[in-house]
Amino acid sequence: MKFSDLFSSFGIRGATAPRTVGIDIGSSAIKVVELEEREGVLTLTTYGEIQLGPYNAEAVGESVLLPMEKEQQALVDVLRESATKAKNAVLAMPLSASFVTVMSLKSEPEEDLTPRIRVEARKYIPTQISEVTLDWAEIARGEASEGDRDVLVAAIQNDALKRFNDLTEFVGFPQLPSEIECFSAIRAVGNGEEEHLAIIDIGAVSSKLYIVRAGLLQRMHRVRAGGTLATKRIAEVLELGFSDAEYQKRHVSEAAKQRDVIRAHASSYDRALVEFRQVIDNYEQSLGVTVPTVTITGGGALFFDLKRQVKEVLGKEVVLAQPFSKAAYPAFMEDLLADIGPTFTVALGAALRAYE
pLDDT of residue 42 exceeding 70: yes
The answer to whether residue 32 sits within a structural domain is yes
Kindly indicate the confidence band of residue 258, based on its pLDDT and cuts at 50, 70 and 90: confident
> Any idea what the CATH number is for the domain that residue 15 is in?
3.30.420.40
The better pLDDT of the pair 124, 264 is held by 264
Residue 88 and residue 7 share a domain: yes
Percent of the chain with pLDDT over 70: 92
Kindly indicate the confidence band of residue 18, based on its pLDDT and cuts at 50, 70 and 90: confident
Sheet with 148-157, strands from edge to edge, namely 98-106, 148-157, 132-139
pLDDT of residue 3 exceeding 60: no
Residue 184 and residue 38 share a domain: yes
Which of 7-16, 27-36, 220-229 is the least confident region? 7-16
Kindly indicate the confidence band of residue 154, based on its pLDDT and cuts at 50, 70 and 90: confident
pLDDT tens figures, 311-351: 999 999 999 999 999 999 999 999 999 999 999 999 999 99
Which of 173-187, 219-233, 324-338 is the least confident region? 173-187
Residue 325 and residue 263 share a domain: no
The better pLDDT of the pair 295, 257 is held by 295
The answer to whether residue 111 sits within a structural domain is no
CA–CA separation, 170 and 147 (whole Å): 49
pLDDT of residue 169 exceeding 70: yes
The reported pLDDT for the residue numbered 257 is 56
CA–CA separation, 147 and 274 (whole Å): 32
The answer to whether residue 72 sits within a structural domain is yes
3-state SS, one letter per residue, for the chain: CCHHHCCHHHCCCCCCCCEEEEEEECCCEEEEEEEEEECCEEEEEEEEEEECHHHHCCCCCCCCCCCHHHHHHHHHHHHHHCCCCCCEEEEEECHHHEEEEEEEEECCCCCCCHHHHHHHHCCCCCCCHHHEEEEEEEECCCCCCCCEEEEEEEEEEHHHHHHHHHHHHHCCCCCCCEEEHHHHHHHHHCCCCCCCEEEEEECCCCEEEEEEECCEEEEEEEECCCHHHHHHHHHHHHCCCHHHHHHHHHCCCCCHHHHHHHHHHHHCCHHHHHHHHHHHHHHHHHHCCCCCEEEEECHHHHCCCHHHHHHHHHCCEEEECCHHHHCECCHHHHHHHHHHHHHHHHHHHHHHHCCC
pLDDT tens figures, 94-152: 988 888 888 888 888 778 888 888 888 888 887 888 888 888 888 766 554 466 788 88
pLDDT tens figures, 281-309: 999 998 899 999 999 999 999 999 999 99
Per the CB < 8 A criterion, the answer to whether 56 and 66 are in contact is yes
Q: Which residues pair with 93 in a beta bridge?
A: 180
The reported pLDDT for the residue numbered 17 is 54
Residue 238 and residue 348 share a domain: no
The reported pLDDT for the residue numbered 188 is 96
pTM for the whole structure = 0.89
Q: At what angle do helices 306-314 and 270-287 cross, to 10 degrees?
A: 40
Q: Which domain holds residue 242?
A: 229-267
Q: Dihedrals φ, ψ of 160, to 5°?
A: -70, -40
The answer to whether residue 282 sits within a structural domain is no
Q: What is the mean pLDDT of the chain?
A: 88
Q: Which residues contact 112 (CB under 8 A, 6 or more apart)?
A: none
The reported pLDDT for the residue numbered 133 is 86
Domains: count for the chain: 2
pLDDT of residue 16 exceeding 50: no
The reported pLDDT for the residue numbered 267 is 96
Residue 236 and residue 183 share a domain: no
Kindly indicate the confidence band of residue 216, based on its pLDDT and cuts at 50, 70 and 90: confident
The reported pLDDT for the residue numbered 175 is 73
Residue 241 and residue 182 share a domain: no
